[in-house]
Structure 1
Amino acid sequence: MVQQLNVEEQNKGLVRRFVREVVNGGDYDVVDELFATEYVRHDPSLPEEKRGPEGFKETVEMWRTAFPDVEMTIDAIVAEGDLVAFRATETGTHEGTFMGIEPTGKRVELTGNVMHRLEDGKLVETWASFDMLGLMEQLGAIEMAR
């Protein structure tokens, strides 16, 4: 049991490092270190699954280009076995084109849930779901009926 707890804590540490250094810090070299070559991301906001470290770099680059000051905060994190799940809040200023929406200069905040599967100390699979509808409303791309 102690060994499993240690692995789960190590996995949570790896996910925290990934958020700190890659998402918030833009250090793409860390992706090559932390992501398995067979990595796959399942995300309903993307037109297709992203595969491998390069696919993940494309996803982060899309966000960091549109929101250069993007910052993700892990609000809660849990681990069980080879899975690490967290609830997050992302903030940023819309300064670049995002999904066809020209820069608005608006400060945005969105929440989401992410689950990673790790194997041999590497991220191999991700399921991510963020409040893209809320983001589109904040950017003025849609208007919600009230």
Structure 2
Amino acid sequence: MPPEPVESVMNRFVEFINTANEDLAREVISPDAVFHAPSHPKPLRGPEGYMEVIGMMRSGLPDVQWTLEEMVREGDTGAARFTMRGTHEGEFFGIPASGNKVSVQAMNFYYLAHGRIVGERGQPDLLGVMQQIGAVPAP
């Protein structure tokens, strides 16, 4: 059976990050996957590593949702632009809940093999998030 197309894997991945469903995580993320997130100094690994990132996001923005706005792919590599929206209802990077709504962009690169994600380099607009929750003054 051939691997799923990149678009199908990415649609399932978006479903995973919006639901934090661990079964979906294991379906779309390779156990050997390596993730580079600006929130963590060292790479995270496998579905468990990604669940850690999702847990960190949901602890501060419990209603966080990602929308895949566009994707460009070449072979088994995809560049994706997301909009991330949520409400700052819990501590986030040490900043107490503000109740502020957040909406920022993220640009990520995904690497796939055998129908699963094996790597990601994510660049969410953390400065935008920090400005919108009141931790950093906006220009």
Q: Could you state the TM-score of these two structures normalised by the residue count of structure 1?
A: 0.87
Number of aligned residue pairs: 138
**AA in 2 matched with 1:141:** A
1:95 matches 2:89: yes
Residues 28-67 of structure 1: CA distance to partner in whole angstroms, max 9, x if unpaired?
A: 2211121111111112232321112111110011112221
1:124: which partner in 2? Answer: 118
CA RMSD of aligned residues (A): 1.6
Instruction: Give 1:96 shift.
Output: 1.4
1:76 matches 2:66: no
Unaligned segments of structure 2, at least 5 residues: none
SS at match of 2:5: helix
SS at match of 2:92: coil
Is the Cα contact below 8 Å between 2:20 and 2:51 reproduced in 1? no
Instruction: Give 1:81 shift.
Output: 0.6
Is the Cα contact below 8 Å between 1:94 and 1:105 reproduced in 2? yes
Please tell me whether Structure 1 or Structure 2 has the larger radius of gyration of its CA atoms.
Answer: 1
**AA in 1 matched with 2:69:** D
**AA in 2 matched with 1:17:** R
Is the Cα contact below 8 Å between 1:12 and 1:78 reproduced in 2? no
Q: Could you state the TM-score of these two structures normalised by the residue count of structure 2?
A: 0.91
Distance 2:39 2:131 in 1: 15
5, 11, 16: which one pairs with 1:16?
A: 11
Residues 91-143 of structure 1: CA distance to partner in whole angstroms, max 9, x if unpaired?
A: 00011111111111111011010111001111100011011111111111111
1:63: which partner in 2? Answer: 57
